[in-house]
Amino acid sequence: MQAARLASLDQLKRVIYLGRFSKMLLPNIRVGFMAATAEIAETFGTQKLLTSLATPELDELRAPVFKQFEALGMTPFCRPQAGFLGWFGTGVDTITLAALALTLEAGYLLAPGALFSPQQTPGTWLRMNIATSQNPAMLRWLDKVLVQLRQQSPGS
């Protein structure tokens, strides 16, 4: 007789079932899955996308990059323990900031929070790649543009 799993007895109302596919199938790729209510799965998925993708090599870069962004007046959403992405409040419209970054003079690609909003709602949050945010020229450009946009902002 096979034992029943809690998840099947509970019908996923209070139990979250986590699993993974064998590394024998794809040794270089780790794929996991979660069975839960739609609300819980969406919350977990959002948190995973906002805070991490598995890259432990970046651990030593994360704290200095966060300090650099904070020195520019950017506020971290949280301090992830893993991954190469960080979310920062800028105090300015990040769609405008991203558009300025794409100009020929700058040539940077920024990810405004609206790209990750189901309604594409403009906002002040910016997703930054920690691994590629060490460029001193980009940091100087970002500082200059954030100062200019904050001075133009009606709330300033």
Q: Are residues 45 and 60 in the same domain?
A: no
Give the integer Cα–Cα distance in Å for 71 and 76.
Answer: 11
Q: Are residues 43 and 60 in the same domain?
A: no
What's the pLDDT score for residue 105? 72
Helix-then-strand count for the chain, H and E: 5, 6
Cβ burial of 86 (10 Å; 0-12, 13-18, 19+) is buried
Give the integer Cα–Cα distance in Å for 156 and 154.
Answer: 6
Q: What is the mean pLDDT of residues 50-76?
A: 79
Report yes or no on 15 lying in a domain. yes
Q: What is the mean pLDDT of residues 10-23?
A: 78
Q: Are residues 78 and 144 in the same domain?
A: yes
Residue 124 pLDDT exceeds 70: yes
Residue 87 banded pLDDT, cuts 50, 70, 90: very high
Q: Are residues 65 and 93 in the same domain?
A: yes
Last residue of a domain, one of 51, 67, 84: 51
Q: Are residues 39 and 63 in the same domain?
A: no
Report yes or no on 1 lying in a domain. no
What's the pLDDT score for residue 90? 95
Q: Are residues 111 and 135 in the same domain?
A: yes
Answering whether pTM is above 0.75, one says: no
Q: Are residues 83 and 130 in the same domain?
A: yes
Q: What is the mean pLDDT of residues 109-115?
A: 87
Q: How far is CA 65 from the centre of its chain?
A: 14
**Sheet of 125-129, strand order:** 75-76, 85-89, 125-129, 111-112
Q: CATH no. for residue 64?
A: 3.90.1150.10
Residue 16, domain extent: 6-51
Helix (H) / strand (E) element for 17: namely strand 17-20
Alpha helices for 11-133 (secondary structure H): 38-51, 59-71, 94-101
**What total number of domains does the chain contain?**
2
Give the integer Cα–Cα distance in Å for 117 and 121.
Answer: 6
Q: Are residues 75 and 140 in the same domain?
A: yes
Q: Are residues 47 and 82 in the same domain?
A: no
Give the integer Cα–Cα distance in Å for 49 and 115.
Answer: 13
